[in-house]
Chain A
Amino acid sequence: MLKGLRIIILKELKELIRDPKILLGMIIFPVLMLPLMGGAVRISTQTAMESLKTLSIGVLDRDSTSLSQTFISFLNSFPSVAKVTVFQSIEEAKEQLENSSVIGVIEIPKGFSNNITNNEKGRLEIYTVFKSGGIYSSLGTSTLINLVNSFGDYLIIQKASEKLPGFERIVLSPIYVSEKTIIRGEEIPISSSVLSTTIWQQSFGLLFGPVMLVIFAMQLGAASTASEKEDKTLETLLTMPMDRITILVGKLSSVILASAISTAAFITSWNYYMTSFFEGFPQDQLNISLESLGLAPTLPMYVITGVSLFLTILFALSFSVLISSFAEDVRSAETLIGSMVPILFIPMFFLMFADVNTLSIFSRIALWLFPLTHPFLTLQTLFNGDYLTPLLGICYLAILTIGVLYLAARFFSTGRILTAKIRFKKRKAGE
């Protein structure tokens, strides 16, 4: 059996990897296209961020008062502002704006200080030049507006503090919240929403990869069996001196392998692509050690979730092979599986965002009955210290998977795989 299995797996992998649709769509695209797109985004972001690090702005001070001088000093005090140039005329300001690295000019009109003193609105003019329509080309303009708004906040605090000492503390932020979360009877000084996000990022986020793997595996599994029928190679293969179950296991193994390669390529490339959007932006690093809080998945949790995940993948794959056995060609198999994937994955995606513990008992049972939800349910339930339900879930999933595998094997063993026919054919004009 092992010899036959090795032969089938190698042949299947060769076929899958050489299939232009699979090679382009599942390997070349994620491996090349996403990093290339990410690289382009990364370069443009870095360029924009670099230009902001050496921000050069201009000021046309027509007011020439102590307040306008305070504003200029305020601008100079910002770490991101490298240079503030004071212009004498609007013509000089516009000329420099178009021909130098100055990203914008703020004009302080005459009477600005007077208006502020008399409790009226002070008006400022901002001049910028439109150079391109890129996403990051407006960063300079928005930075100028932020600087002006910051100065506005500074003025509010200054003026209000004159009338009411301690205004900032009493009026602007009168309440201080200290969040505490109780975990298994212990009080921890961290917000539960922050904890949820961290657990999601560090634990549930890991399940995104397997979700992709299941989707890839179902598509490949369907194509693998249907192509044997379409290319008229199935009959010959079934008369080879080996068990039909070896053919089935060989197909399933090669599809899992190819899907794993494809998923790894996709996730690596996708991560690179997504992080490229945030490259260079300051981020609040919230490093919470889930291990120190006793919330990190333990080894038994990993093992139980891993078994659940493996059975889920095997179930989905066997199911797609079984369903696609009815199809007469690859197109029909893809249509069959393609129409089922959204239905199969709705409960799975629902669980990505819902807490199973807040659901009614009937909803929970319904979700446990649905095989593709098990990895998520298992992890959520294990976090609550319940090990029995996930283990029962694994037994249920194992029985279901064995059942589908048995049906698929029966289908391969009898002549039914040769005679079962579902075809989705494009209607020709005039038919």
Chain B
Amino acid sequence: MNLAVEVKNLVKSFGNIKALNNLSFQVTEGEIYGLIGPNGAGKTTTLRILSTLILPDSGSARIFNYNVVSEAAEVRKIISYLPEEAGAYKNLSGLEYLRFMAQFYVENKEDLEKRVKEAAEISELGERLKDRTKGYSKGMRRRLLVARSLMHKPRLAILDEPTSGLDVFHSQHVRRIIKKYAKEHGITVLLSSHNMLEVEYLCDRIALINKGILVEEGTPLELKERYSVSNLEEAFMKVVAHA
């Protein structure tokens, strides 16, 4: 299998705080890979580096063999990034927002309309897509943004806390979409989450991160067996305690 993501000895500091400390992991193509860890573990920093938003201090990160620092332009063509606290342009309607974003990836009008239609279906927002996004609830906005991040079928979707702040119904909807879309279109997904239920439902493999270091990696089942626990939350607590 091809490597979708290859992170080697990544280091990133903000002042005196070391956010990443020689972090290394690999994600294979078509996989849904989860980064799990407490607040400040370095999950968002990792995802931001992979999304070409910030530069690492040292180490390397490659996406489908493109270097995220020296080949950032190529990386941006094949990824989509959903930040944890993302918003939409409040003076545009949902449809206008999707059309604006889709334009960067399409070659002709026909393709554009196809992508927008597909995104509209993913979001399941119906007629509300014609309204300006400033009137959307948090759940509606997140569904719009998830649709935006999947509509152009990126080779790698980087999703930072995709269900952050959503209620049970909206969370389930978003999870279902991610899983369905990733499997149907062979999209590799790298996501971060606090929610162990979500991770267990979505991810093929997970990495547990604490203080910028990868402390454990495996499938949810492997981790539960390795630590003789019934759920990932307990496994995570044991790993962090050992670390």
Contacts and interface: CB of A to CB of B under 8 A. Distances in A.
Interface of A: 3-4, 7, 11, 14-15, 18-19, 231-233, 235-236, 238-243, 414-415, 418-419
Contact of A232 (B77, B81, B83): B83
B90 interface: yes
A15 B92 contact: yes
B114 to A, nearest CB: 18
Give the most central of B55, B77, B83: most A CB within 10 Å.
Answer: B83
A235 B81 contact: yes
Contacts of A231: 87-90
A240 B83 contact: no
B59 to A, nearest CB: 16
Given A18-B132, A235-B83, A240-B101, 11 more contacts: A7-B104, A14-B92, A15-B91, A232-B87, A235-B53, A236-B86, A236-B148, A239-B52, A242-B76, A414-B55, A418-B48
A19 B86 contact: no
Given A7-B104, A415-B53, A241 B96 contact: no
A241 B77 contact: yes
Nearest to A17: B91
Interface residues of B, number: 32
Interface in B108-153: 132, 145, 148
Give the most central of A11, A414, A419: most B CB within 10 Å.
Answer: A11
A240 B51 CA distance: 10
B73 interface: yes
19 contacts: A7-B104, A11-B89, A14-B92, A231-B88, A232-B87, A233-B86, A235-B83, A236-B82, A236-B86, A236-B148, A241-B76, A241-B105, A242-B76, A243-B73, A414-B54, A415-B54, A415-B55, A418-B53, A418-B54
Contacts, number: 74
Contacts of B104: 4, 7, 240-242
B92 A239 contact: no
Contacts of B89: 11, 15, 231, 233
B91 A18 contact: yes
Interface of B: 14, 48, 51-55, 73, 76-77, 79-83, 85-92, 96, 100-101, 103-105, 132, 145, 148
Contacts of A419: 14, 54
Contacts of B148: 236
Contacts of A418: 48, 53-54
A209 B80 CA distance: 43
Contacts of B82: 236
Contacts of A3: 103
Nearest to B100: A11
Contacts of B145: 236
A8 B48 CA distance: 22
A239 B76 contact: yes
Contact of B79 (A14, A18, A239, A415): A239
Contact of B51 (A233, A239, A242): A239
Contacts of A4: 104
B121 to A, nearest CB: 21
A243 B120 CA distance: 27
Contact of B73 (A7, A238, A241): A241
A14 B81 contact: no
B88 A233 contact: yes
A415 B79 CA distance: 18
B55 A236 contact: no
Contacts of A235: 48, 51, 53, 81, 83, 86
